[in-house]
Structure 1
Amino acid sequence: MRPSPTRVWGLPLAPLSRPEAADAVAALIDAGRPAYFITANAHYAMVSHGDPALRAINEEAAFLLADGAPLVWASRWRRAPLPERVAGSDLIYDLCSQAADRGDRVFFLGGPPGVAQAAADRLQERYPGLIVAGVACPPFRALSEAEEAALIAQIRDARPALLFVAFGQPKGERWIREHLDELGVPACVQVGASFEFVAGCVRRAPRWVQRIGMEWAWRIGTDPARLGPRYARNAAFLLRMALGDLRRGPGPEPETEAEATPPRMANAGSSTGLAAPPAGPLS
């Protein structure tokens, strides 16, 4: 049995290392029941904080992984700190290597036109035994009922064991949960910009930048006009949560939103617009 989650800013994060996370995904596949897991960063914590429906999706997930250095740092104020950051853009390689060894079928869904296919091709080159069950890139608009049904049927008929979805946060998590039973996939996950990193469309920060927890700063530098305002909102949320941790002191975080929200800030998300900004993760 996996250890109890460590709750950080309302997220029930599994205290798993990268190898343990890959093992946990293999266990989901072996169980054979429709399931999903979530890679959560500080941006995802922020949008979850102001959205009861999204918090319910988090609680129903098989597990959540800390894909963000601030979450790992904050966990050190808890009694069961997280062992490390498990970035989705790293885990996609681990899971595809594991899938190639095990013979698990993988489906790539979403991303800009052509990017999912490019990522799948690169991963097959890197892991020759990888079975790509399918690739789909729906348009960046609301799908009609017929288009949605056709997409779900395409994935279901491909019989993947692992489904990577690149719809952005939290759209991807919502879509997976809404269609989980129809899809019938035992391991589903929203992977953000991972397809673009794998395909080489976007360059990730050097490893030393990732190790010191400054990948977010690197990403701002790559596109300051677009990402700067988004990361500013994330930074404001981080400050609020850090102040709440200091007021509460070390120990387990309360599980209810009302208890976890710092005094006089219970409505801050709705009054400042922090509850639902456009997707833009703080890694």
Structure 2
Amino acid sequence: MTDLDPSPALVPPPVRVWGVPFAPLTLDSSVEVVDALIARGEPSYFITANLHYVMLTHQNPDLAAINRGAAFILADGAPIVKAARELPTPLPERVAGSDLIFHLCERAARKGHRIFLLGAPPGVAEEAAAALVAKYPGLMIAGTACPPFRKLSDAEHEALLDEIRAARPDVLFIAFGQPKGERWIAENVARVGVPVAVQVGASLEFAAGRFARAPRWMQKAGVEWLFRMLQEPRRLASRYASNAAFLGRMKVRRALRGREAAHADAHAADAPREAAREH
């Protein structure tokens, strides 16, 4: 993994939630920061982290370094934003990768940025490219690629990197799943020289029309996960159960720390009175 100069000056100081440093950015300000990264022209990446990714960070020590190398990390989960409300600096809103991809493509169409779509099931990247170009006339799709799910040979891997480099994209959207996508980006973004790369998960399938987004009221209520689980119960039920258990552990840990802090404060308040009695 190559060390990168992580973030432009306009990214505010991070807010740490459950050990992950989230940037307190809105959807609109995230688009502006990506614009600045493209203008800078140096290889970089950012992460859209939902509750599942936070759990994976706790389970996989290598992700801590990947998080530190990111230009910024967005809170793509209602539980993360809710937990941050108890901190001195809260997170302004959830920034869903499945929303951000459309805003970035709209900006790319206006400014002439080149987009590359990598990954997702066979045919999805091509369908997403066609749908995005239809939605945003003038959008330049520099290329699409769908490597096999198995581990690539060295020759196949090098050929894929050559294909991306030759396309000269400004933004590389990757749909490899978590944390495979984040690991791939951290290992390869400097080699392909793309100004901005991001793992987008199912966003390409949303863009292609393979899956529908939850109704807006479900998104605002923080229950989009339920809508998604009904779409893919076999794949997502066990994952969301693990996420719920992790969230429960984080809440218990926070409650215990709060109780310990309250006990320490009470002990500190009693200390002067005890000293006075001794005199």
Q: Identify the TM-score tier after normalising by the shorter chain.
A: 0.7 to 0.9
Q: How does 1:66-145 map to 2 (within 5 A)?
A: 66-145=75-154
1:167 matched residue in structure 2: 176
1:209 matched residue in structure 2: 218
1:248 equivalent to 2:248? Answer: no
Alignment counterpart, residue 234 of structure 2, candidates 225, 240, 252: 225
State the distance in 2 between where 1:30 and 1:40 align: 24
Q: Which amino acid letter does the alignment assign opposite residue 180 of structure 2?
A: K
Indicate the larger mover: 59-68 or 197-206. Answer: 197-206
Helix, strand or coil at the partner of 1:249 = helix
Give how far 1:248 is off: 2.7
Q: Which amino acid letter does the alignment assign opposite residue 203 of structure 1?
A: A
Q: String of CA shifts for 1:78-104, please: whole Å, max 9, x gaps.
A: 111100000000000000000111101
Is contact 2:114–2:168 with CA below 8 Å preserved after alignment? yes
State the distance in 1 between where 2:249 and 2:191 align: 39
1:271 matched residue in structure 2: none
State the distance in 1 between where 2:152 and 2:11 align: 38
Helix, strand or coil at the partner of 2:89 = coil
Sequence identity percentage:
59
Give the alignment's TM-score, normalised by structure 1: 0.87
Give how far 1:52 is off: 1.7
State the Cα RMSD in Å: 1.1
Give how far 1:37 is off: 0.2
Give how far 1:228 is off: 1.1
Q: Which amino acid letter does the alignment assign opposite residue 81 of structure 1?
A: P
State the distance in 2 between where 1:18 and 1:226 align: 28
State the distance in 1 between where 2:234 and 2:185 align: 30
Give how far 1:249 is off: 3.5
State the distance in 2 between where 1:121 and 1:113 align: 14
Q: Which amino acid letter does the alignment assign opposite residue 109 of structure 1?
A: L
- The structure with the largest helix share of the pair is 2
Give how far 1:204 is off: 1.5
Give how far 1:202 is off: 1.2
Give how far 1:225 is off: 3.0
Give how far 1:11 is off: 0.9
Q: Which runs of 5+ in 2 are unaligned?
A: 1-9, 260-279
Give the alignment's TM-score, normalised by structure 2: 0.88
1:16 equivalent to 2:28? Answer: no
Q: Which amino acid letter does the alignment assign opposite residue 4 of structure 1?
A: P
Helix, strand or coil at the partner of 1:119 = helix
Give how far 1:62 is off: 0.2
Is contact 2:11–2:72 with CA below 8 Å preserved after alignment? no
Aligned residues: 250
Alignment counterpart, residue 193 of structure 1, candidates 180, 199, 202: 202
Q: Per chain length, whose mean CA-contact separation is higher, i.e. which structure has more relative contact order (CA < 8 Å, sep 6+)?
A: 1
Helix, strand or coil at the partner of 1:201 = coil
Q: Which runs of 5+ in 1 are unaligned?
A: 251-283
Helix, strand or coil at the partner of 2:45 = coil
Give how far 1:22 is off: 0.4
State the distance in 2 between where 1:235 and 1:16 align: 25
2:275 matched residue in structure 1: none
Alignment counterpart, residue 154 of structure 1, candidates 160, 163, 168: 163
State the distance in 2 between where 1:14 and 1:165 align: 21
Indicate the larger mover: 14-23 or 236-245. Answer: 236-245
State the distance in 2 between where 1:247 and 1:158 align: 52
Q: Which amino acid letter does the alignment assign opposite residue 97 of structure 2?
A: G
State the distance in 2 between where 1:92 and 1:249 align: 38
Q: Which amino acid letter does the alignment assign opposite residue 177 of structure 1?
A: A
